């Protein structure tokens, strides 16, 4: 099996490295291209056997599964380049939420699916969102999801819920890291604890909390109840956050969805242009 990657920026390179480190793919099975040749050449130097292609059609033509890891507004240009070499038996995997399945299926002869990865996949954990196109057969869906199990927990979602699912699984690590950064900043400012020590404590707490919420059998509500003693210190902290953060997460979702709708409108405009 040959896997192709067009785009080796942040998420493209994370997918490649995670799939190699997990043993899901050998470097010899991967061919990749990038608009900046130096990026894919560095990957080829790091992972002996990985092929740095000279252009996008070279990658597309020789791949059984092709991961398209470019920015939303670059999709149409790349699709126009690779369309002539694609075959119905191939699977194209899009990793961008604002490029819809119908955009791709209307212009490509191959099978199409969407996989929204997360930076957590770099350490072979977290989820990957799967939204399969109409041409994907049951065995195709199973094959893609089996590949993803090496680096994540594949979760099938509807395309209508792609944005909110991505907010939780893909944007969530950045949002959570921002919370931890502010928490650590305050701890250092208010108490004088060293930043290094506070970072270690916060990171280990996050790891342990994640395990409690997955394999530990807790959900967010039951975990709070287990930690919180009525009238205690944790209860006072939760009371403050409940008051000061009231409505903030609603506004967070509203603003991510507004940006998504803006991007979707621009993508619609790009795909509306004639070939």
Question: Consecutive sets of 10 residues in the chain, 275 residues long: mean pLDDT of each?
Answer: 96 97 98 94 96 96 97 94 97 96 96 97 97 98 98 97 96 98 98 98 98 97 96 96 97 97 94 71
Burial (Cβ within 10 Å: 0-12, 13-18, ≥19) of residue 23: exposed
Would the annotation count 56 as a binding residue? yes
What's the pLDDT score for residue 272? 84
Do strands 111-116 and 127-132 pair parallel, antiparallel, or not at all (unpaired)? Answer: antiparallel
Q: What is the pLDDT of residue 275?
A: 55
**What sign does the dihedral 238-244-248-250 (CA atoms) show?**
positive
Flag whether 89 is marked binding: no
Structural domains in the chain plus CATH codes: 3-157 (3.40.50.720), 165-252 (1.10.3730.10)
Does the annotation place 6 within a ligand binding site? yes
pLDDT at 249: 97
Is 118 marked within a binding site? no
Can you give the C-alpha Rg of the chain in angstroms? Answer: 21
Flag whether 13 is marked binding. no
| 121 belongs to an annotated ligand binding site | no
For residue 180, give the nearest of 196, 197, 211, 203 by alpha carbon. 203
Residues 6+ apart with CB under 8 A from 240: none
Q: What is the pTM of this model?
A: 0.92
30 among annotated binding-site residues: no
């Amino acid at each position: 099996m040959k896997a192709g990657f067009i785009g080796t920026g942040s998420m493209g390179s994370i997918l490649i490295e995670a799939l190699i480190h997990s043993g899901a793919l050998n470097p010899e099975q991967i061919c990749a291209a990038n608009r900046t040749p130096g990026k894919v050449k560095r990957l080829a130097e790091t992972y002996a056997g990985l092929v740095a292609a000279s252009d996008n059609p070279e990658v597309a033509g020789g791949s059984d599964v092709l991961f398209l890891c470019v920015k939303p507004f670059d999709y149409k240009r790349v699709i126009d380049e690779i369309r002539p070499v694609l075959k119905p038996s191939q699977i194209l995997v899009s990793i961008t939420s604002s490029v819809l399945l119908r955009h791709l299926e209307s212009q490509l002869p191959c099978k199409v699916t969407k996989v929204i990865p997360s930076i957590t996949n770099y350490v072979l954990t977290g989820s990957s969102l799967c939204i399969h196109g109409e041409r994907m057969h049951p065995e195709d869906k199973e094959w893609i999801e089996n590949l993803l199990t090496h680096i994540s927990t594949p979760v099938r979602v509807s395309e209508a819920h792609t944005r909110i699912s991505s907010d939780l699984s893909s944007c969530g690590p950045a949002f959570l890291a921002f919370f931890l950064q502010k928490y650590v900043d305050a701890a250092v400012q208010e108490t004088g604890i060293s930043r290094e020590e506070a970072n270690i404590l916060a990171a280990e707490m996050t790891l342990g909390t994640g395990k409690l919420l997955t394999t530990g059998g807790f959900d967010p509500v039951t975990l709070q109840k287990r930690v919180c003693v009525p009238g205690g210190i944790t209860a006072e902290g939760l009371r403050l956050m409940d008051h000061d953060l009231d409505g903030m997460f609603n506004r967070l979702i509203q603003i991510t969805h507004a940006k998504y709708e803006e991007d979707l409108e621009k993508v619609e405009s790009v795909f509306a242009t004639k070939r």
